[in-house]
């Protein structure tokens, strides 16, 4: 009996161990999918862990993170709450729930989350950063400044805190303090375009228009953005440079065709110079995006009157007067339209409305109780050439529009820092080329990377879908995920002869890779190599998956250490050298078997560059470019590698070629490293 009980306990422990391994595997694969932006797939894996072990906090947290990336902020908040209820000591859970609540506009609740997180991590700069932004959005500017003061004591010389404190000072109308912080920030990082743009806004408030224009011009040089052009147009308008202002609105709209503010202001300027028809086009765009923008409707009505479209003008004036029934100038304009249409009775009725209002105002003057008529402005109002975007006073229809808070709420709501995918956001190499069935559009467009062997294997129809090589991998949708899980079973059932078995293992390895099960993919590529050592695609694919495993491990280590690398070339410094020897060995074998496949040299160049063997990396990029002269990514990475060596001139030349071939992000780096 005792022996039987011992055996039963042993079996129970083995089953428990097996369940533990399975949930650990599901968590690992789910995190792989999350890291590589396969959010729908990752949620499926985390769902399995939640079902198996609902007492763990991790699957709730990571599922919440996936939902956050899918803009399901309510779901993310709920999952984070579940995670916190299971483990109230994990900083990331509070931080993510804070981000979800910010996205939902729950700033007070987000403050509570960041305060709770700071109890466990009092020197976490991201938490202080977000807490300050929450107070700024709540318009508690004194509290925001207090938080930023504390943050700068903890992290002296932290430029983002200086930038944010400057923005808060602007809201407090303390332009002197704002300039002090902005200038201190530029001493730390003189390549931050937003700092120049923010300082330009301070100069605008101080009516230093030439200085504002200079700062915005340099901000555009560093990083062209539509709102930089919009603001520079405003400075040029103040300086009576209407041609330059018009040009800036053109450029802003080229970058952002649905920029309502740009269309409205350009419409006003076009109307000023007599370009009525194109001004009508601009106001029509504004009305399309903002049907309730009555001032755009009124401006269009005036232009339609001038161009002879009386019916259109009448329709627009009807809308305006329905919204503003005391707007006397609107009645005058409609009376004019009616007279031109020969509708004298309607014209006289509108003129009578104006006459009665004028008589009432005259009576108030005589009685000593004068007010301001609906179509008049005070002296202070007349002195301004602009109005705030939220100012709906119809009398100001001719004024250029400025954003309510050019560095206010919109900026505060866009700069939150949270647990993202730990991707390096600094100077980084273009990614490896991988074998897959799917690609997403990249900067370089819809280029098809051809190789004769890929063409032949696709013609053989041995794979379920056409195989491609791309550096722009696409996350799978639910239908694609289901297809590859089914294909895993299909390929397993096909194993028979050696050659078919090699292809079967390779195909199933691609399936496992696409559903982010890296361990299973490596095992299958290894089995394919054992079955057929000449199938070089297996070596190539295994190298890519091994690299991604190391990339994930490095990201996890950084996350647990609470920081992100400041330089991509440090990415692999602390990684296990043995892993990279295996990756290089696979790439070397792929080169031996298929010496005309440019992407193997490119990938090997990336690995060597990560290992700081820059000269060897350049040799490999040279080989890739010799085989594929239009491979933009190779020029881009070779350019960066030259820059890592201090050879900026050669690096900039390569980046220029990459930009010419369509990798437009190269131009930002050129501006930085050409100086």
Q: Where are the alpha helices (DSSP H) in 206-343?
A: 209-222, 226-238, 242-255, 260-272, 276-289, 294-307, 310-323, 328-340
**Residue bearing tokens 């520079």:** 232
In Å, how far are 107, 293, 298 from 267, measured between CA atoms?
Answer: 37, 14, 12
Is residue 480 in some structural domain? yes
pLDDT classification of 559: cutoffs 50, 70, 90: low
End-to-end CA gap in the chain: 84
pLDDT of residue 2: 44
Cβ neighbours of 71 (radius 10 Å): 10
**Residue bearing tokens 């003008």:** 313
| pLDDT (tens digit per residue) in 286-325 | 999 999 999 999 999 999 999 999 999 999 999 999 999 9
Sequence-distant (6+) residues with CB within 8 A of 257 are none
Nearest to 164 by CA among 128, 200, 111: 128
pLDDT of residue 16: 42
Give yes or no for residue 91 having a pLDDT over 60. yes
Interval 67-75 mean pLDDT: 88
Decide if 643 contacts 651 (C-beta within 8 A).
yes
| Percentages (nearest 5) of helix, strand, coil residues in the chain | 70, 0, 30
Give yes or no for residue 516 having a pLDDT over 70. yes
Nearest to 232 by CA among 207, 269, 263, 201: 201
Is residue 634 in some structural domain? yes
pLDDT classification of 562: cutoffs 50, 70, 90: very low
pLDDT of residue 6: 43
pLDDT of residue 666: 81
Give yes or no for residue 551 having a pLDDT over 90. no
Q: Is 627 helix (H, G, I), strand (E, B) or coil?
A: helix
Give yes or no for residue 453 having a pLDDT over 70. yes
pLDDT of residue 448: 66
**Which residue did the predictor score with more confidence, 448 or 181?**
181
Share of the chain above pLDDT 90, in %: 54
Sequence-distant (6+) residues with CB within 8 A of 389 are 261, 401, 402, 403, 404
pTM beyond cutoff 0.95: no
Is residue 573 in some structural domain? yes
CATH number at residue 461: 1.25.40.10
Decide if 618 contacts 641 (C-beta within 8 A).
yes
Is residue 355 in some structural domain? no
Give yes or no for residue 25 having a pLDDT over 80. yes
Counts for the chain of helices (H) and strands (E), in that order: 33, 4
Q: Where are the alpha helices (DSSP H) in 420-476?
A: 452-459
Decide if 610 contacts 569 (C-beta within 8 A).
yes
Is residue 557 in some structural domain? yes
Q: Is 293 helix (H, G, I), strand (E, B) or coil?
A: coil
Interval 114-120 mean pLDDT: 93
pLDDT of residue 497: 53
pLDDT of residue 417: 54
Interval 635-662 mean pLDDT: 90
Query: How many CA atoms within 13 Å lie on the side-chain side of 26?
Result: 21
pLDDT of residue 3: 42
Is residue 637 in some structural domain? yes
In Å, how far are 41, 74, 163, 468 from 434, measured between CA atoms?
Answer: 19, 35, 40, 8
pLDDT of residue 180: 93
Decide if 322 contacts 334 (C-beta within 8 A).
no
DSSP secondary structure letter of residue 463: S
Total domains in the chain come to 1
pLDDT of residue 126: 87
pLDDT classification of 404: cutoffs 50, 70, 90: low
Least confident of 114-123, 258-267, 368-377, 474-483: 368-377
Nearest to 136 by CA among 405, 419, 401, 388: 405
pLDDT of residue 443: 54
Give yes or no for residue 375 having a pLDDT over 70. no
| CA separation for the pair 515, 488 (Å, rounded) | 10
Is residue 289 in some structural domain? no
| CA separation for the pair 208, 229 (Å, rounded) | 17
Give yes or no for residue 403 having a pLDDT over 90. no
- For 629, the domain range is 434-673
pLDDT classification of 494: cutoffs 50, 70, 90: confident
DSSP secondary structure letter of residue 273: T
Give yes or no for residue 33 having a pLDDT over 90. no
pLDDT of residue 165: 93
Interval 625-648 mean pLDDT: 93
pLDDT classification of 413: cutoffs 50, 70, 90: very low
| pLDDT (tens digit per residue) in 437-452 | 988 766 555 566 778 8
Is residue 404 in some structural domain? no
**Residue bearing tokens 């968590």:** 27
pLDDT classification of 379: cutoffs 50, 70, 90: very low
336: tokens are 């004019």
**Residue bearing tokens 């791309």:** 470
Name the average pLDDT for the chain: 84
- Beta bridge partners, 457, equal none
**Which residue did the predictor score with more confidence, 478 or 285?**
285
| pLDDT (tens digit per residue) in 523-545 | 999 999 999 999 999 999 999 99
pLDDT classification of 216: cutoffs 50, 70, 90: very high
Q: What are phi and psi of 292, to 5 degrees?
A: -95, 10
Cβ neighbours of 124 (radius 10 Å): 18
> Directed axis angle between helix 39-52 and helix 2-35, to 10°?
160
| pLDDT (tens digit per residue) in 586-604 | 999 999 999 999 999 999 9
Sequence-distant (6+) residues with CB within 8 A of 332 are 350, 351, 354
Give yes or no for residue 236 having a pLDDT over 70. yes
């Amino acid at each position: 009996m005792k022996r039987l009980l011992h055996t039963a306990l042993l079996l129970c422990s083995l089953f428990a161990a097996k369940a533990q391994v399975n949930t650990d595997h599901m968590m690992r694969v789910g995190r792989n999918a999350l890291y590589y932006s396969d959010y729908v797939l990752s949620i499926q894996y985390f769902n399995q862990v939640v079902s198996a072990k609902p007492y763990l906090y991790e699957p709730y947290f990571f599922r919440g993170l996936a939902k956050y990336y899918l803009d399901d902020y309510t779901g993310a908040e709920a999952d984070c709450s579940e995670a916190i209820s299971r483990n109230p000591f994990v900083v990331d859970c509070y931080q993510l729930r804070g981000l979800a609540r910010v996205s939902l506009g729950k700033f007070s609740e987000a403050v509570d989350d960041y305060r709770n997180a700071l109890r466990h991590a009092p020197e976490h700069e991201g938490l202080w950063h977000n807490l300050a932004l929450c107070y700024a959005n709540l318009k508690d500017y004194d509290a925001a400044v207090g938080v930023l003061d504390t943050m700068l004591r903890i992290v002296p010389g932290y430029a983002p805190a200086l930038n944010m404190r400057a923005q808060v000072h602007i809201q407090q109308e303390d332009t002197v303090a704002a300039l002090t912080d902005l200038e201190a920030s530029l001493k730390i990082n003189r390549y931050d375009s937003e700092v120049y743009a923010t300082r330009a806004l301070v100069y605008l408030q101080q009516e230093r228009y030439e200085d504002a224009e200079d700062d915005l011009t340099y901000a555009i040089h560093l990083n062209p953005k539509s709102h930089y052009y919009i603001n520079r147009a405003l400075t040029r308008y103040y300086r009576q440079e209407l041609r330059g202002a018009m040009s800036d609105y053109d450029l802003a709209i080229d970058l952002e065709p649905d920029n309502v503010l740009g269309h409205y202001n350009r419409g006003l300027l076009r109307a000023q110079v007599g370009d009525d028809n194109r001004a009508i086009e601009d106001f029509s765009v504004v009305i399309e995006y903002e049907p309730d923008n009555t001032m755009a409707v009124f401006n269009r009505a005036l232009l339609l009157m001038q161009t002879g479209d009386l019916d259109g003008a009448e329709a627009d004036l009807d809308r305006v007067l329905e919204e503003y029934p005391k707007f006397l100038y609107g009645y005058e304009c409609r009376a004019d339209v009616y007279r031109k249409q020969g509708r004298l009775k309607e014209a006289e009725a509108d003129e009578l409305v104006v006459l009665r209002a004028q008589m009432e105002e005259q009576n108030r003057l005589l009685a000593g109780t004068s007010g301001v008529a609906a179509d008049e402005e005070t002296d202070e109002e007349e002195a301004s050439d602009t109005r705030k975007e939220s100012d709906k006073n119809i009398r100001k229809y001719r004024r250029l529009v400025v954003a309510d808070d050019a560095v206010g709420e919109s900026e505060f709501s866009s700069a939150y820092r949270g647990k993202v995918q730990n991707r390096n956001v600094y100077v980084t190499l273009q990614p490896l080329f991988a074998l897959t069935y799917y690609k997403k559009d990249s900067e370089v467009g819809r280029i098809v990377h051809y190789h004769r062997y890929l063409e032949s294997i696709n013609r053989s129809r041995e794979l379920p879908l056409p195989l491609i090589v791309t550096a722009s991998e696409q996350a799978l949708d639910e239908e694609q995920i289901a297809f590859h899980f089914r294909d895993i079973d299909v390929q397993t059932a096909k194993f028979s002869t050696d050659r078919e078995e090699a292809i079967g293992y390779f195909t199933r390895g691609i399936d496992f890779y696409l559903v982010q099960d890296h361990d299973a993919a490596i095992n299958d590529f290894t089995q394919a190599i054992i079955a057929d050592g000449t199938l070089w695609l297996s070596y190539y694919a295994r190298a890519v998956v091994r690299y991604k495993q190391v990339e994930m491990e490095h990201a996890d280590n950084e996350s647990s250490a609470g920081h992100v690398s400041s330089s991509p070339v440090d990415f692999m410094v602390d990684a296990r050298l043995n892993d990279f020897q295996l990756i290089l060995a696979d790439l070397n074998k792929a080169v031996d078997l298929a010496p005309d496949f440019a992407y193997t040299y490119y990938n090997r160049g990336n690995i060597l560059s990560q290992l700081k063997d820059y000269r060897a990396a350049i040799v490999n990029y040279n080989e890739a470019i010799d085989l594929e002269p239009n491979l933009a990514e190779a020029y881009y990475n070779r350019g960066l590698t030259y820059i890592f060596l201090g050879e900026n001139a050669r690096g900039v030349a390569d980046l220029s070629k990459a930009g010419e071939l369509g990798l437009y992000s190269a131009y930002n780096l050129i501006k930085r490293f050409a100086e």
